[in-house]
Amino acid sequence: MMRVSEVMTPNVQLAAPDQSIMDAAKMMADADCGALPVGENDRLVGMVTDRDIVVRALAQGKTDSTIRDVMTESIEYCFEDDDIDDVANRMGDLQVRRLPVLNNDKRLVGILSLGDIAIAGADQPATDALAGISEPQPGAPMH
């Protein structure tokens, strides 16, 4: 059984909700990533993605937005000692490509992405998660 801690990306940079979306974009560029966990008062309060910045701010002309304005507040996460197969299935069910990873003290210790799972050689869990993520939501427009 493979654990999340074996394949996650550790040492993740944390953004603050009152930082600008420009700050978030620079942080993502520097870290070569598409998402940042958002923390406030030593707690995880959201996630912001490059897509959040584009769709929720730039596409609407809101170039002076803060991370809080565009972040997703409802946070799904996993624990570092969770089983990769279980987490991959959850990612598919939730239709997410990455999850923050917490330790047992609920402190952020990393990020688990679909890519991390695939690189680790966990082919079937990655395939199952991608199938779930790619499945259209009921009532969603087809593209």
Q: Domain segments of the chain: what residues?
A: 4-133
In CATH, which of 3.10.580.10, 3.40.718.10, 3.30.43.10, 2.170.150.20 is domain 4-133? 3.10.580.10
Residue with tokens 């003290």: 105
Q: Is the pLDDT of residue 98 over 60?
A: yes
The per-residue pLDDT for range 106-143, each reduced to its tens digit, is 999 999 998 888 887 755 555 555 555 555 655 554 44
pLDDT at position 120 is 76
Q: Which residue has the higher pLDDT, 52 or 134?
A: 52
Contacts of 12 (CB under 8 A, 6+ apart): 36, 37, 100, 108, 110, 111
pLDDT at position 27 is 97
3-state class (DSSP) for residue 41: coil
DSSP code for 136 = P
| Dist. CA 110–CA 78, nearest whole Å | 10
pLDDT at position 143 is 40
| Dist. CA 82–CA 88, nearest whole Å | 10
